[in-house]
């Protein structure tokens, strides 16, 4: 449930991405209809699903080379994470910022191997063939971003990590708040204001194939509420900027 699948819908539409909203025995219900009925035996490609954890978060370590100095950054706490550059001619980017507990220039003699394999070898897909749907109805948008909205605090302590990390006052990290949300830029529709005024909860989905069956990604929000739309000029056309907050 909530994983993305790509379904082969014949030569006209090719592989089409959708989100699974429920499973009953061998029947999948998708977030919105496919453009055509797949043939019997048509390929269905599964995906990996990532979702927010409420507990068990860990710090990160990074190796950074600046000029000829190799730094090791330890006990790093995520300050923000969002997906940006989702637009009609863009490449989706995962943006993160970090705070560092401790660092040194002596813990590593060299950088990790640079030979990329598996998922790390796949280039991020350019946004194309990416349907955007609200309440299972496709709508035209020209850009979007999503903020994971998680806030973490250091578990600071007088003894912290002891001799393992003598200079650090931080013994770990804890998620203390979560307010995921985002925004999208659509073309004017009277229904945007109607939905906002009613406070209606809706599902939001975007999926992108990136032109390849092996490189695909998607985002699904089962329940979100939009905020007050604002009018915008988009290439001489009347557009709207619409922020949303996630309730599930």
Q: What is the pLDDT of residues 84-98, one digit of tens each?
A: 989 988 888 889 999
Average pLDDT, the chain: 88
pLDDT at 213: 59
Strand partners, 66: 69
Q: What is the token pair recorded at 14?
A: 């090719």
Torsion of the alpha carbons at 34, 38, 44 and 45, rounded to the nearest 10 = -50
Q: What is the pLDDT of residues 12-28, one digit of tens each?
A: 888 888 999 999 998 99
Asked if residue 165 has pLDDT above 70, the reply is: no
Q: What is the pTM of this model?
A: 0.85
Residue 200 phi/psi, 5-degree rounding, is: -70, 135
Residue 242 phi/psi, 5-degree rounding, is: -130, 115
Asked if residue 103 has pLDDT above 80, the reply is: yes
Least confident span in 168-172, 192-196, 218-222: 168-172
Query: Where do we find the tokens 């996630």?
Result: 246
Q: What is the token pair recorded at 182?
A: 């985002």
Q: What is the token pair recorded at 48?
A: 């990996």
Concatenated DSSP letters for the chain?
---EEEEE-HHHH-EEEEEEEEEETTEEEESS--SSPPPTT--EE--------SS----EEEEEEETTEEEEEEEEEEEEEEEEEEETT-B-EEEEEEE-SEEESSS-SSPPP----GGGGSPPPBS-S--EEETTEE--EEEEEEE--EEEEEEE-SSTTGGGGTT--EEEEEEEEE--EEEEEEE--HHHHHHHHHT--EEEEEEE-TTSSSS-EEEEEEEEEE---EEEEETTEEEEEEEEEE--
């Amino acid at each position: 449930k909530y994983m993305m699948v790509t379904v082969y819908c014949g030569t006209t539409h090719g592989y089409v991405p959708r989100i699974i909203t429920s499973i009953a025995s061998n029947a999948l219900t998708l977030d919105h209809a496919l453009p055509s009925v797949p043939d019997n035996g048509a390929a269905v490609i599964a995906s990996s699903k990532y979702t927010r954890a409420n507990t068990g978060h860990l710090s990160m370590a990074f190796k950074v080379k600046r000029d000829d100095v190799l730094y090791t950054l330890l006990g790093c706490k995520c300050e923000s994470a969002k997906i940006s550059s989702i637009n009609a001619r863009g490449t989706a980017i995962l943006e993160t910022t970090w705070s560092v507990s401790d660092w040194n220039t002596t813990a590593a003699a060299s950088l990790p191997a640079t030979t990329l394999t598996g998922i790390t070898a796949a280039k991020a897909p350019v946004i194309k063939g990416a349907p955007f749907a609200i309440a299972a109805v496709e709508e035209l948008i020209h850009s979007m971003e999503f903020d994971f909205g998680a806030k973490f605090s250091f578990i600071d302590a007088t003894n912290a990590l002891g001799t393992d990390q003598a200079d650090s006052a931080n013994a770990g990290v804890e998620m203390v708040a979560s307010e995921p949300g985002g925004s999208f830029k659509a073309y004017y529709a009277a229904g945007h204001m109607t939905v906002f005024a009613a406070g209606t909860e809706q599902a939001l989905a975007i999926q992108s194939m990136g032109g390849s069956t092996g490189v695909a990604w998607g985002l699904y929000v089962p329940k979100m509420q939009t905020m007050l739309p604002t009018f915008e000029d988009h290439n001489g056309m009347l557009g709207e900027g619409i922020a949303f907050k996630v309730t599930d």
